[in-house]
A and B are shown apart, each in its own frame.
Chain A
């Protein structure tokens, strides 16, 4: 009973925020709705007893990714909002693509054989650590290489454009 209520407490905001992302016209509002959704999903993880996952969800997605997202979005001009209205052709395209995606999602969800009751999966930080450094070392390292590449790309994109007199005098840096 209580568990169901708390589940709804997190699940309903997840869905509502997800829909709100789509419906809101202001790009910054969208970002904040996204954050609300991420927090609610973190709450669901907590409810399922996956504390580590929940905490990491909040720390990485909300504290890191979402903040940077808002940071980027915040600096865009406010006049951008009307441009986010898709044209008629675009609407058709987008509808087709998203319907296909939805169909795929529904099919895959329908095919999963759901386990009832608790399952034995790594849960504590120690167990997760062991499995990441053991069974899943390959994917883990691959992911880190991917992130490194992304970071280098970001650094390249943000390379100096306007030379600025740095406090050190002769050296040139950008802010």
Chain B
């Protein structure tokens, strides 16, 4: 007689033990924590302040700075996590609304806000699968190599004129360098999986990301040339005087450079229409085909963290950073809102556009984007040569151009607001409203 035995599943590692304990006692601990949250908060604050004061006064005057660093790093980590969690939830809601669905509605009370948390909990509990023929150490390492640089990029990103962990005179390059390391994790994952689909994903990632790094950096350099500094704080400070002082409206080259940067940043984040490294209709799931459970979540997190990071760069360098459209109202909220808007546009693209083919990706980069950004860099630099008090006639012309560009920007924003409002107002009867060209016979 055939006896079907339940296969013995051997759970490996201490992580699962933690998860078991956490799922057993976690809710109680959380409830207790929330119940006395304010007490704990103030107690921690008082203890921390006292500790820092004592340390600074009696032991070593430099140590408080070290403690401050630790607190800020933890805060940035938390911020990046929140960005990823909200980003993943928002992606699902955005896609749902675009596709006339509701998306997650159950988890949490309001519009499924806790869906990402629930998914995270689910992923943590999954078995950590590693293919038998995979290159084990590299397979395990790859998610970290993808996620950690993306997190580290936040160390140099300023949220406000003084809201920065470290302002370095090479802050911009620092962020770009860290985003460049992220590619490695993808390649590592693709190669270590020992799956052909993963390998294809890794190859595509390497091709695409290395190529688009160049137009991306060059577009940013146009902004750098306009301000004359690589420090992100300096770049933000240069745009303090309201809407028309934002770098994107400073000269036509910067205006175009913003768009080239945005396209290149889509490619560097592997976002649609450049999502070839994981293009699921061709490569199953690309470089993370073999990943499951929490390792997969890490890739997912890294994607959203990097999305916000590249949008943050665009915000700081082109869109005025933390400065409000009206001078003097600057706040970190402006920075977050602008970056979040750019992230939303990335999602909008993803749920609208088909995927480009790999040769078209490379053609677009080498034949169009790269020469264009080189020209922009040249033009932007030349503009800086003439746009100074030594050339009064040109300065007048430049001011007119600035005003026109600023008005174009206002028009674009107005168009967006109008379009969104129109869509919202007529959301119930949009049947066929997009029709511009009828099919023959209709």
Contact = CB atoms under 8 A, between A and B. Distances in A.
Interface of A: 26, 28-29, 32, 35, 39, 51-52, 55-56, 58-59, 62-64, 66-68, 70-71, 74-75, 124-125, 166-167, 173, 175
Contacts of B358: 175
Contacts of B169: 51-52, 124-125
Contacts of B184: 32, 35, 62, 66-67, 70
A29 B191 CA distance: 10
A107 B298 CA distance: 48
Specify which of B190, B191, B358 lies most central, judged by the most chain A CB atoms within 10 Å of its CB. B191
A51 B169 CA distance: 8
Interface in B148-189: 168-170, 173-174, 176-178, 180-181, 183-184, 187-188
A68 B177 contact: no
Given A71-B187, A125-B170, 14 more contacts: A39-B181, A52-B169, A55-B174, A58-B181, A59-B173, A63-B181, A63-B183, A66-B184, A67-B184, A67-B209, A71-B207, A74-B187, A74-B199, A74-B206
Interface of B: 135, 138, 168-170, 173-174, 176-178, 180-181, 183-184, 187-188, 190-191, 199, 202-203, 206-207, 209-210, 213, 230, 357-360
Given A64-B210, A71-B206, A74-B199, A56 B173 contact: yes
Given A32-B138, A74-B199, A58 B170 contact: no
A67 B138 contact: no
Contacts of A35: 184
Given A29-B138, A51-B169, A55-B170, A67 B177 contact: no
A67 B169 CA distance: 26
A70 B209 CA distance: 13
Contacts of A32: 138, 184, 188
B177 A63 contact: yes
In the A-B complex, the 8 residue pairs with the smallest Cβ-Cβ separation, listed nearest first, are A63-B180, A58-B177, A59-B177, A71-B206, A55-B173, A51-B170, A55-B177, A55-B170
A35 to B, nearest CB: 6
A59 B176 contact: yes
Contacts of B207: 71
Contacts of A26: 135
A171 to B, nearest CB: 11
A62 B180 contact: yes
A28 B191 contact: yes
A35 B183 CA distance: 12
B180 A70 contact: no
Contacts of A63: 176-177, 180-181, 183, 210, 213
Contacts of A29: 135, 138
B170 A67 contact: no
Nearest to B182: A63
A55 B437 CA distance: 51
15 contacts: A32-B184, A51-B168, A56-B177, A62-B177, A63-B176, A64-B180, A67-B183, A67-B187, A70-B184, A70-B187, A71-B206, A74-B187, A74-B203, A125-B230, A167-B360
B230 A70 contact: no
Nearest to B166: A51
A67 B210 contact: yes
A68 B184 CA distance: 10
A47 to B, nearest CB: 14
A68 B360 CA distance: 20
A118 to B, nearest CB: 17
A110 B358 CA distance: 52
A124 B180 CA distance: 22
